A = this chain, B = another copy of it.
């Protein structure tokens, strides 16, 4: 799903900065002065400012007015809060899916589920998380509810940050991924209630047990 043509410097900086935060290269609590970023990216402060402001709307950066911006720190409480909202929203998505949109999206969903499994097999966690995000976003898109899609896409950045902070052990992550295809077969059989229940477990299962502490 191409989000933007990415021709403007603002967009490019936005994408790269987001990647640096989600990859852990920029850690929670770190100061990010505009000028040093401008030097790093070889652009002026203007596109940097725009990217920072956009990312702050997504909760990945916290701006202290007239002072400085830091990479947001995710707390255990916040993780729980997000999980609850996420379950609710994705359950709404499931409720909204009809046969036609399921048929239209089933191929995409299977591919993401398979790619997740494959990446897990070769121990590539970054790809696992990426494909997992894509799976859930595709599920949400199947709802065809534009407002829902919007909110979930915007929440996705925070969820990615969360997934990384969670640092789930291999066996749990693997189990968790196997639920993707289970959810799909439940959907195919039209058993939405079971699917929603499984989704709940999929998302909230021991969510915060493994949250890694954020250091400043």
Residues of A within 8 A of B (CB): 4-5, 7-8, 49-50, 53-54, 57, 59, 65-66, 77-78, 81-82, 84-85, 88-89, 92, 96, 145-148, 150-151, 155, 158
Bound-state CA distance A121–B81 (Å) is 39
Q: Can you identify 28 A-B contacts, CB atoms within 8 angstroms?
A: A4-B65, A7-B65, A7-B66, A8-B65, A8-B66, A50-B50, A50-B53, A54-B57, A57-B57, A59-B150, A77-B146, A78-B146, A78-B147, A81-B145, A81-B146, A81-B147, A81-B148, A82-B147, A84-B92, A84-B145, A84-B148, A85-B145, A88-B88, A88-B89, A89-B89, A147-B158, A151-B151, A151-B155
Bound-state CA distance A63–B146 (Å) is 17
Bound-state CA distance A158–B54 (Å) is 18
Which residue from chain B places its CB closest to the CB of A92 in the assembled complex? Answer: B88
Bound-state CA distance A48–B133 (Å) is 34
Q: Which 4 A-B pairs have the closest CB atoms?
A: A81-B147, A82-B147, A81-B145, A57-B57
Which residues from chain B contact A151 at a C-beta distance below 8 Å? 85, 151, 155
Which residues from chain B contact A5 at a C-beta distance below 8 Å? 65
Min CB gap A97→B, angstroms: 13
Bound-state CA distance A7–B65 (Å) is 9
Min CB gap A144→B, angstroms: 9
Bound-state CA distance A95–B65 (Å) is 35
Bound-state CA distance A54–B89 (Å) is 24
Which residues from chain B contact A66 at a C-beta distance below 8 Å? 7-8
Which residues from chain B contact A78 at a C-beta distance below 8 Å? 146-147
Min CB gap A209→B, angstroms: 19
Which residues from chain B contact A65 at a C-beta distance below 8 Å? 4-5, 7-8
Which residue from chain B places its CB closest to the CB of A87 in the assembled complex? Answer: B92
Bound-state CA distance A50–B53 (Å) is 8
